[in-house]
Structure 1
Amino acid sequence: MKNNVFRFTFTAILFCLIINIGGCGENSKTPIGKQLLSPIDTDYVNLEEYIPGIHISLAYYTTNNFTGQKLYSSPVAYLRRGTADKLKSVSDEVTRDGCRLVILDAYRPPEVQWKMWEKYPDSRFVANPHKGHSDHSRGCAVDLTLADEQGRQLEMPSGYDQFDPSADRNYSDVSPARGANARYLENIMIKNGFHPAVTEWWHFVDVDREKYDVSQEPEQRPPVS
């Protein structure tokens, strides 16, 4: 009799354990496959969604650029997550100072780089695709400027893509106010992990650029938000 009671009790406990384990699996809200996927630095992110308060104004989505052509099919700006995280820190800092970031260019498809080189084959201002594509095509370079809280862009040493000496980082040839604005942006970008281009006040590259390869259009591979 005691053996029968023991067997019954053991069987009941084992049955309850099996039910509970199965129940946990069935009630789980996140599929196992999804649990294994975590954000990585090489993911592409939509900057407007990823960085609150940022303003996107892609010059190459319009004809108002040095080529006179509309080169982009979409107004969406993408960067690698690792680069975007650094840019978010920049945005947080300038926001505290009463400014906001305006993105003029971010990821750039390799085929667009070829078109730019055909239009303006000067490696001081346009990366020579014969010698390796622009860091924009790696998704780790950004062209940007500053605006005030009302969205009015601050005065800078030159216009965007104005390929002449006034665009470089020798601010002695521009007004003190323009030089101060550019220097302020430059210092914050350097502080947060970007390297400034010598000939273009607007152009910055993630110091960790070697982590990223030249890639095709992010829209062809749904970006991680």
Structure 2
Amino acid sequence: MSSGRRPYRAARRAVGRRLVAVLAAAAATAGCQRPAPSPPAPTPSPTVAGPRAPADFVALSDVDASINIDIRYATAHNFVGRPIAGYPEPLCLLTRPAAEALHRVQAAALAGGRSLKVYDCYRPQRAVDDFVAWAKRPGEQQMKAEFYPDVAKTKLFAEGYIGAPTAHSRGSTLDLTLVPVPPPAQPGYVPGQPLVACTTPAGRRFPDNSVDMGTGFDCFDPLAHTADPQVTGAARANRELLRRLMTAQGFENYPREWWHYRFTAEPYPKTYFDFPVARSSLR
């Protein structure tokens, strides 16, 4: 009877050893596998405040009247081709800390024979919503030949040329350039006039009174990237001068747009405002 148990016990031990080996292999394989990545968290909706500006918003002209103002989104001369929602007046509104920092930039620019010119400052959330709605209408491309001649309209958001939400709505970000002192006259834009690509050389594109920056303002093209290697000579020097002047007073450039700067010590880093660009919005 004992001799019959030995083969049985041996077989049982062999089965046990094989089971242990299988379980060990499974455990090792599981340890090498990475857990499935979690889906990205949804982008939170911006906190929109309004309908009037906080007390520390000011009109730039009240802080420094020498800075030139050319608010394109209050006109038809922009990439949409009409005045943008939220711009009833061609004003530059900023938080006071950003405006006072820009006043210091202007003092340094004037000392070197240049002056600042702003194209856009605080941008209400309703204007951003207007851009988003426009982007969803593929047939509206009447300004393509000037502002995005080589980029499909469907890629303007994906490639970072338009942002939603935008730091502009927080009140301490602006778009600007340099102009000579005194600034030369600038012909007005006439809706329907022939358009010229913003990437063409200075003197052939729209006659903005800016110094040569290599492209026009709001030029949705890699050539408008601040450090694009194709931009050389005077245009490169002008971009670098603007960056030095702005950086010295606490502004940071957006690398895809030579004209875009954010005041890094902005007082409302997480709040997006929606009051209109108008004197009546100020307290």
Instruction: Report the TM-score when normalising by structure 1.
Output: 0.74
Structure 1 residue 220, shift from structure 2 partner: 7.7
Given candidates 99, 103, 117, the residue that maps to 1:88 is 103
Aligned with 2:273: secondary structure?
A: coil
- RMSD in angstroms over aligned alpha carbons? 1.9
| Identity over aligned pairs, percent | 28
Q: Give 2:193's aligned residue.
A: none
When Rg is computed on C-alpha atoms for both structures, the one with the higher figure is 2
Q: Give 1:135's aligned residue.
A: 167
Structure 1 residue 209, shift from structure 2 partner: 3.1
Higher relative helix content: 1
d(CA) in 2 for partners of 1:59 and 1:208? 26
1:185 is aligned to 2:198: no
Any residues of structure 2 matched to 1:1-225 within 5 Å, and which?
A: 43-71=56-84, 72-120=87-135, 121-123=156-158, 124-128=160-164, 133-152=165-184, 153-209=210-266, 211-212=268-269, 213-217=271-275, 219=278, 222-223=281-282
d(CA) in 1 for partners of 2:108 and 2:233? 22
Aligned with 1:107: secondary structure?
A: coil
Q: Which runs of 5+ in 1 are unaligned?
A: 1-40
Aligned with 1:214: secondary structure?
A: strand
The AA in structure 2 aligned to 1:223 is L
Do the aligned residues in 2 keep the contact of 1:60 with 1:70 (CA within 8 Å)? yes
Deviations 1:107-158 (Å, cap 9, x if unpaired)?
1110101111333451411112xxxx21111111000001111213201121
Segments of 4+ in structure 1 off by > 6 A? none
Of residues 213-222 and 175-184 in structure 1, the stretch that sits farther from structure 2 once superposed is 213-222
d(CA) in 2 for partners of 1:55 and 1:69? 22
Structure 1 residue 221, shift from structure 2 partner: 6.0
Aligned with 1:209: secondary structure?
A: coil
